[in-house]
Structure 1
């Protein structure tokens, strides 16, 4: 064989071997603890007991959705093993459960741990261990800081964005009002209050009174009476479900009729408005980014029908008037999307890489126009919301989708 052809043959052979090696490398599966050919271990921490126990249904809805995915064959053939523990909304307990999930159960990631105090308590640990603390169930702005905490990411609109959205509405419609604010004395309440003040800008002087409370407080009556006596005609309640229900009831008992704004995290008809009294709740304004199953607007909506079918089949004892069950369903859908994007590279690093590369993701229970978008330097997946008002029976959306982006 002539030398030239021998060289060409050798080069062709080398190219073939290189191509085969590249194909093999692409086909190679990569796993970190918590992942295998058959299983993906996903950890979770929820307040199934304690002062924020009404949020516990979120974990149950997520478990039900993962059961649905598993019944349909899993993700790329792998079943989700969802391990969920109770922290009773206690930061020390949250640390204990996070350690158990990472060091004993060896989960691939911790998904949707709930509450600003609990997530604040475990954030440094999760980042030191380089384990994803993904789609945190809190609107705390601190969970969108990839520079300092690259392993932690929120999901829902952050509290400052929500405050900006209310401020835009107030500046336009109530420019001469006086505002009283009731807020939770933790990072969540401080974030929300800051968002409102920043959004009001040169109108921040409209806030004439504020009172805080502790989630563990048995009663908040004295704070509401003081805010009523301030002479304000706009009232903000930024509190967990129990505190919000108490505030709504007390405002009603006082015969106070302010323009009432309620935190998005406390809008459940079942968990907040019914206990507070539906008549007391009439006229309250809040925000939404998910469809509310009690809103007649969505009665014939295919997405809502699909959610109702899911509830009937996989979570039959779940309350269909509780918006937290929609929240858990949508979050689980987004988690599944990230795991699908991971393909066969189920490493903790790739989970965060894919979570930071979500483009215009939406699900059938998100409001039209609301999209999930992330990038390596944008860990705030949703920053738009729409205003809604409670009519005594259901929440009714009004106005356009508003962007509350925090710069």
Structure 2
């Protein structure tokens, strides 16, 4: 006779024999609405999982709210998800300041704030915030890779940095300076902008005037596109590096202009949906089939769609590992026990690994250059860590 203890199912709020409720908060409106496609791709992926029978027989109920990229609104929506909707966890919410505004609340309530869609280093702090975990490579680690690249390829560079005046921008700047180490004097000028500014043209003009021949644009999509346009307009042709969050061909480079985007550098950890080199790749075949069937309005060139798909896959993998123990505690335990997991849309060789003392799932990237109509990867996959 089977021991009843083993067969016992364990549930917290938001989980049952038939359903798993997942909450999400996205900027469907406001200055960061370019990222709304991430939430839509995630919803479509969960629809696919449900159509295929769910997770261990349970259907996902995905409840996604708009916060307009405004932290007070994020707080309101998180409370609604936890206290009214009774979700098991909040997954993939977007933004640094927005997630920062709910982190304390989520940890006090002991509700998982999982796979945060922001590369701030602070999501990897399991000691102080055991209920919060990031997903993508941290901004600081990405910036360290750019620093390594500049020091090696252009050791006499004069660097001009434009950064968003918030945690997102400051984290990159910190990583860049860590990466440059004793050579921070290479930075000729750093200038910040606020997301409330309609345009950043003046900042670009100032950076050109500083004599910088390397331009690091730590910007979100709307401003990244503006910076590309303005640099071309004033005939400034530095080595131009843009942050991965703005490396979308469909979301940034096409709107800015393909011709003037030639030669721009960035780094990636995901495959590029616009690149025919992946047409024969098994993972991308699954991704393209998914789009055709479940998200036909999506632009496969938009990096946000590739991102949302891989993040949702990571969430599903975590829930599969939970089995019938769908307590919040076990969800966090499984999220911190991912071993060499490779979502379909991550670059070959890049794998997700977590541990109880390491809440940074992805820590590798590869440099890339925009050429023709697509990104070309070059060099080796670089691990960003300098110690821990």
TM-score range, shorter chain: over 0.9
* Aligned match of 1:210: 190
1:100 aligns with 2:80: yes
* Aligned match of 1:9: none
**CA deviation map 1:67-86 (0-9, x unaligned):** 00000000000000000000
* Aligned match of 1:398: 378
**CA deviation map 1:9-46 (0-9, x unaligned):** xxxxxxxxxx95xx321210000000000000000000
* Aligned match of 1:370: 350
CA contact (8 A) 1:89 1:115 kept: yes
1:291 aligns with 2:271: yes
* Aligned match of 2:167: 187
| Residue correspondences, number | 387
1:200 aligns with 2:180: yes
User: How far apart, in 1, do the equivalents of 2:118 and 2:87 lie?
Assistant: 21
Stretches of structure 2 that go unaligned for 5 or more consecutive residues are none
**Match 2:110 to one of 116, 126, 130:** 130
* Aligned match of 1:63: 43
User: How far apart, in 2, do the equivalents of 1:305 and 1:357 lie?
Assistant: 28
Give the match's secondary structure for 1:135. strand
CA contact (8 A) 1:30 1:346 kept: yes
User: How far apart, in 2, do the equivalents of 1:226 and 1:104 lie?
Assistant: 49
**CA deviation map 1:54-78 (0-9, x unaligned):** 1000000000000000000000000
Give the match's secondary structure for 2:116. coil
Measure how far apart 1:403 and its partner are. Answer: 0.4
**Match 1:310 to one of 290, 295, 300:** 290
**Match 1:79 to one of 54, 59, 73:** 59
User: How far apart, in 2, do the equivalents of 1:114 and 1:148 lie?
Assistant: 21
1:263 aligns with 2:243: yes
User: How far apart, in 2, do the equivalents of 1:293 and 1:359 lie?
Assistant: 25
Stretches of structure 1 that go unaligned for 5 or more consecutive residues are 1-18
Which portions of structure 1, spanning 4 or more consecutive aligned residues, are displaced by more than 6 angstroms? none
TM-score, scaled relative to structure 2: 0.98
The 5-angstrom pairing of residues 232-381 of structure 1 reads: 232-381=212-361
Measure how far apart 1:302 and its partner are. Answer: 2.2
**CA deviation map 1:87-140 (0-9, x unaligned):** 000000000000000000000000001000100101001001000000000000
**CA deviation map 1:266-297 (0-9, x unaligned):** 01111111111111211000011010011222
* Aligned match of 1:170: 150
**CA deviation map 1:133-161 (0-9, x unaligned):** 00000000111101111100000000111
Measure how far apart 1:332 and its partner are. Answer: 0.5
User: How far apart, in 2, do the equivalents of 1:276 and 1:180 lie?
Assistant: 20
User: How far apart, in 1, do the equivalents of 2:363 and 2:70 lie?
Assistant: 28
TM-score, scaled relative to structure 1: 0.94
Give the match's secondary structure for 1:153. strand
> What is the RMSD of the two structures over their aligned residues, measured on CA atoms?
0.9
Over alpha carbons, which structure has the higher Rg?
Answer: 1
Give the match's secondary structure for 2:172. helix
* Aligned match of 1:32: 12
Give the match's secondary structure for 1:386. strand
User: How far apart, in 2, do the equivalents of 1:305 and 1:281 lie?
Assistant: 28
User: How far apart, in 1, do the equivalents of 2:177 and 2:372 lie?
Assistant: 29
User: How far apart, in 2, do the equivalents of 1:221 and 1:36 lie?
Assistant: 53
